[in-house]
Amino acid sequence: MAERIVKVGLVGFGTVGTGVAKLILEDGDRIAAKTGIRLELACVVDIDTKSARLVKLPAGILTDDLDRLLADETIEIGVEMVGGTDAARQVQLKMLEAGKNVVTANKALLAEHGNELYRAARKNDRCIAFEASCAGGIPIVSAIRAGLTANSITAMYGIVNGTCNYILSNMTAENEDFAAALAAAQQKGYAEADPTLDINGLDSAHKLAILASIAFGYEIALEDIFVEGIDSISKDDIRYGGEMGYCLKLLAIGQRHEHNRVSLRVHPSFIAKDSALARVDGPFNAVSIFGSAVGQVMFYGRGAGMMPTASAVVADIMDVALGNSVTTFRHLNLKLRAEVEPLIEKIDEIESRFYIKVMAKDQPGVVASYGKVLGDNQISISGALQHEGRGPDNTVPVVITTHTTQQKNMTAALNDLERLDVFSGKPVCIRIVDIPEDKD
């Protein structure tokens, strides 16, 4: 088969950009043999043209001048690896206007400005491919858009942030403090020097916004997603939850109910230890999806890192080069807000089970007190655990799990519990998520 040459321009020569250049330059022969398409890295743009990288570029293609890439009409595909939202947005818009198809891994940008960018792509009859934006090397975007196209997707439960999962796995396995687990993650390269976006849950929310849009077919705004991070999780709660049969994960949850009612949230979640997602450890990602025809499917792999992410970027480049992405993108038929306004469930309305921990003082009436507060708020108790022995300030931890109730009932109950004299400090409350099991 005759090879067709497809020229690629890359903007952003950082970690993932380097991985992409590496794959194109070092595996070009293999990819060409497999697909009939020879990728040519024609231009690499970065403000830093001096520092050494892990790949050696052909002479003359590295530049700090974006216009050089834009003006080269032979470049069909522009890969935006800039990161962040301001400059990256400009880069994507300019590349689309210059007639290039865009490949990106920028979840923050797509979550915040995706709808604007998708419109710009359509206006210019070009596409934006973004497989690498969610769950790194796992081909989850194409699975939802193509592989599961016959399905009405009703729910997704994802571990989509490797940093948080590494931290929580370590806290669980080693009974480590949050701070120590974070430091270990940083040392391993699984957490940035500034890990805020990861541990506050926002990075997971970015990915949920993208995945839920394509799975449910609505425009979804970042503000539609309730977000709670993992920074206030204590190792004790992980241990007590473990004793009750649960494992703590930061889950990104999207559910679509009838009448366009949608629930979107990212929060620490106790899930049953024997559920498939509970077994996803360390820096790995996994997403469980429920489809009307297929039932439960799960995708598992590395959600970040230079080469796994570059693997997804190059898959997208090939998909664009083969002409498939343009077709798929044309049919990325998101209903505009003007057309269908999804009814976003408020967090107060969400029904959940809960894990509560209160520090009880050594005095009579503890059980009666929390029993009454929960009962008064229409919450029924599912399990309780009180170890003998003393905690700090002569208190003992009392752990309670509840049956399903609305968040607003729980919020009221927590306020009541905090005011009770028999308890010390603020109660801890973590949602228990019962992932539906698709069993025989």
75 exposure class (CB count in 10 Å sphere: 0-12, 13-18, 19+): buried
Residue 359 makes contact with its own copies by CB under 8 A: no
Q: Pick from 74, 90, 152, 363 the residue near its own copies by CB under 8 A.
A: 152
Q: Running DSSP on this structure, what letter comes out for residue 422?
A: T
Count of residues that bind its own copies according to CB under 8 A: 66
Q: Which stretch binds its own copies (CB under 8 A): 63-71, 202-210, 277-285, 343-351?
A: 277-285
Confirm or reject binding of residue 292 to its own copies (CB under 8 A): yes
- Known catalytic residues? 207
Closest CA to 168 of 218, 213, 220, 204: 204
The least distance separating its own copies from the CB of residue 139, rounded to whole angstroms, comes to: 3
Which of 322, 367, 381, 396 forms a contact with its own copies (CB under 8 A)?
322
Structure tokens at 100: 């290039």
Q: How far is the CB of 372 from its own copies (least distance, A)?
A: 42
- Residue among 119, 123, 273, 331 that touches its own copies (CB under 8 A): 331
Cβ proximity to its own copies: between 51 and 333 the closer is 333
CA-based angle 18:23:28, to the nearest 5? 140
Q: Do the bridges between strand 153-159 and strand 246-256 make them parallel or antiparallel, or are there none, so unpaired?
A: antiparallel
Cβ distance 16 to 32 under 8 Å? no
Contact between 14 and its own copies (CB under 8 A)? no
Stretch that binds its own copies, among 23-31, 63-71, 173-181, 226-234 (CB under 8 A): 23-31
Q: Tell me phi and psi for residue 201, to 5 degrees.
A: 90, -5
Q: Is residue 311 involved in binding its own copies (CB under 8 A)? A: yes
- Chosen residue from 23, 45, 164, 366 binding its own copies by CB under 8 A: 23
Residue 412 binds its own copies (CB under 8 A): no
187 part of the interface to its own copies, by CB under 8 A: no
Q: Which of residues 73-132 bind its own copies (CB under 8 A)?
A: 131
- Alpha carbons 210 and 92: distance in angstroms, whole number: 17
Residue at 116: amino acid letter: E
Q: Which of 314, 374, 379, 410 binds its own copies (CB under 8 A)?
A: 314
DSSP sequence for 301-357: EE-SSHHHHHHHHHHHHHHHHTTHHHHHHHT--PBPTTT---EEPPGGG-EEEEEEE
- Residue 183 found at the interface with its own copies (CB under 8 A): no
Per-residue binder mask for its own copies (CB under 8 A), 372-411, x = binder: ----------------------------------------
Interface stretch with its own copies, choices 33-41, 42-50, 70-78, 355-363 (CB under 8 A): 33-41
Q: Which of 56, 119, 330, 346 binds its own copies (CB under 8 A)?
A: 330
- Tell me which of 11, 127, 315, 430 binds its own copies, using CB under 8 A: 315
Q: What whole-number distance in Å separates Cα of residue 405 and Cα of residue 358? A: 19
Q: Is position 283 an interface residue for its own copies (rule: CB under 8 A)?
A: yes
Single out the residue of 98, 89, 85, 87 nearest to residue 126, CA to CA. 98
Collapsing DSSP to helix, strand or coil, 212 comes out as helix
**Encoding tokens for residue 168?**
């929580």
DSSP β-ladder status, 261-272 and 226-227: parallel
Burial classification of residue 249, based on how many CB atoms lie within 10 Å of its CB (0-12 exposed, 13-18 middle, 19 or more buried): buried
Q: How far apart are CA 286 and CA 210, in angstroms?
A: 15
How far apart (Å, rounded) are the C-alpha atoms in residues 210 and 208?
5
By CB under 8 A, is residue 260 in contact with its own copies?
no
CB of 440 to its own copies, least distance (A): 5
By CB under 8 A, which span of 34-42, 93-101, 391-399, 416-424 interacts with its own copies?
34-42
Applying CB under 8 A, among 12, 17, 83, 137 the residue interacting with its own copies is: 137
341 binds its own copies (CB under 8 A): no
The one segment of 51-59, 102-110, 224-232, 299-307 that binds its own copies by CB under 8 A: 299-307
Note every long-range contact of 361-365, with CB atoms under 8 Å and residues 24 or more positions apart, other chains counting: 361/394, 361/395, 361/421, 361/422, 361/423, 361/424, 362/390, 362/394, 362/395, 362/396, 363/422, 365/422
- Residue 352 lies near its own copies (rule: CB under 8 A): no
Distance (Å, whole) CA 74 – CA 78: 11
Tokens of 320: 């664009």
Q: Long-range contacts of range 186-189, CB-CB < 8 Å, 24 or more positions apart?
A: 188/283
Binding to its own copies (CB under 8 A): which residues in 202-231? 217
User: Contact positions toward its own copies, by CB under 8 A?
Assistant: 1, 19, 23, 27, 30-31, 33-37, 131, 136-139, 142-143, 146-152, 166, 188, 190, 217, 276, 279, 282-283, 291-302, 305, 307-308, 310-312, 314-315, 318-319, 322-324, 327-328, 330-331, 333, 438-440
